[in-house]
Chain A
């Protein structure tokens, strides 16, 4: 499976990411903090990231001098060199670095560290340390007015060096706290995203694998159905001759038969037919199991279906000396069902009632119209409150006077291949599929089949079918 194999194109996690200063700071609020510092101490402040991009630039009055000098070509050259120096020069990572500009003005530079690595630098200044005498300014050019320059120098803040150092250290601490918060925030949010993405990808892979195995199962199921259809075909072809020729012999087409001979042939024919119903049962059941069962619904008279089922089992009933009666209690409406399938159910259940009856017993089939409460179907596209509370059902109750079924066995009789007593297969015949098929078919009609039984007294099978199960 693909999610098991390491993915070489895997994206590098945020945990391996090397953050830049601007990734970790909210620049706008950071600039406000810097402006506050600068304003409080009347000092200019620049902040660069590790690649020299200027993130913060707050000017003080001291910079007026710089601006004046910058307006002369020579001053511009000198100033630019100073800017490049404070931006790019190597500075101590363990403390503060001082820089004195060509005018004699002072700056203090400090590294911004993240996990021991420099990701930016702070530049404070210019200022004039108390007690420090400025060298006289060099001549800048023709229109240079040293009077003006001197008055601008006066505007530069004069302060103790130690004060500036303290201030820088304090700002660095503040920045580190902001970095920590920013880093934590970046990791948390991006890890959430990565974890979610990773879980999603894993689910995707699992889905693909599931889809694949579902596709294979469906293919297997198709093969199974094909196989069953073919086997059934292969088995039924020779049975045609077994049953057909037996029938011909019985009818005397190959000459008269003695009693013993025709007895044997009858056995061959009966067993052939039993084999046929077994094959048909298995095929039916496999169709239901694989969901390939399709119903052909038509409005049908349920009494007709019951009568037709009874007529099918009548020869057997006569043989067993069992009486079969129908008693419709109400006016029975027509129901929309697959008539062939319902007849199959009824034939099976009524057939059992005859087969498992006592000699000279009785089977009665009762029909009733009942209203059954409807369980809310939450899977429907309609809210439960829109669904009907009850629905009209036809109840067909088949009572016998036979051996009955023990309570602990009543649940299992609808399981496939289950017969109350394995010897009953021999005694009564059948595949053990009849009731399982009957149950599947009633369920497919939206109905139900249940049993009540008293050991020794008889059983009652109740088949309920909705009048119209809908599409």
Chain B
């Protein structure tokens, strides 16, 4: 849940990267860490064991100060994908303001995607989060691999769902900024509606987006934006 401290002029949001094991959640954060301007982001903290998979979770803050002097901080978390880390997953999901669901594009990973989605909705429920209204975007990652669901197929299924869908190859850095921008915009609009933040902070959505997603060097390889549901 967003933490708003008007006295200390701080806003802290929480976005969670959810998804099955090995779908590339950490890779997304690593790519963001590389591409974002160091003045707008903190260190990428990877809390894990010696294993190459995320057994614990990752955390990277991005932040900026508005012209009106407010610090807007967005903490990006990944959850551990492995089934056994359910309690960590639930704790990380606690109080999320938005979710980027990182799905694996490979055809043989559809069951894992489905299981993880169901696991997420169960954990949202346990955390008393409103599944109907919580901003969620979906990223189909690993577009660089073969034997994946085709662009056309994903475009087709994206039209049927209400969640915006992004294509990405996190390992190449493609589509990760767009995904973050997608979930960030949805979450900000949702919070703004609820708390009237833009008025209170004297800030507009585009100022936030352009400052939080300030890049080290321009990168124009944008992934196609495939669908926009009925969330506005």
Contacts and interface: CB of A to CB of B under 8 A. Distances in A.
Interface of A: 3-4, 6-8, 10, 12-13, 15-16, 18, 93, 115-117, 180, 183-184, 187-188, 191, 194-196, 198-199, 202
B135 interface: no
B125 interface: yes
Given A6-B126, A198-B90, A191 B43 contact: no
B129 to A, nearest CB: 8
Given A4-B126, A115-B61, A191-B56, A15 B87 contact: no
Contacts of B127: 6, 10
B73 A6 contact: no
B123 to A, nearest CB: 10
Interface in B71-130: 71, 73, 75, 77, 85-88, 90-92, 94-95, 125-128
Given A180-B43, A191-B88, A202-B87, A16 B126 contact: no
Given A16-B3, A183-B45, A115 B95 contact: no
A116 B91 contact: no
B149 to A, nearest CB: 33
A116 B41 CA distance: 8
B63 A116 contact: yes
Interface string B145-166: 0000000000000000000000
18 contacts: A4-B125, A10-B94, A12-B95, A13-B91, A15-B77, A15-B95, A16-B14, A18-B12, A93-B65, A115-B42, A117-B71, A117-B73, A180-B45, A183-B45, A195-B88, A195-B91, A198-B87, A199-B87
Interface of B: 1, 3, 8, 10, 12, 14, 42-43, 45, 47, 56-57, 59, 61, 63-65, 71, 73, 75, 77, 85-88, 90-92, 94-95, 125-128
A6 B122 CA distance: 10
Contacts of A8: 128
A116 B47 contact: no
A93 B95 CA distance: 28
Contact of A13 (B3, B56, B94): B94
Given A4-B125, A117-B71, 14 more contacts: A6-B128, A7-B128, A15-B14, A15-B92, A15-B94, A15-B95, A115-B63, A116-B65, A117-B8, A180-B43, A191-B56, A195-B87, A196-B87, A202-B87
Contact of A16 (B47, B87, B95): B95
Contact of B47 (A3, A10, A187, A196): A187
A420 B65 CA distance: 85
Contact of A6 (B86, B95, B125): B125
A268 B59 CA distance: 85
A191 B8 CA distance: 27
B113 to A, nearest CB: 24
B47 A115 contact: no
A48 to B, nearest CB: 15
Nearest to B72: A116
A198 B94 CA distance: 12
A117 B42 CA distance: 11
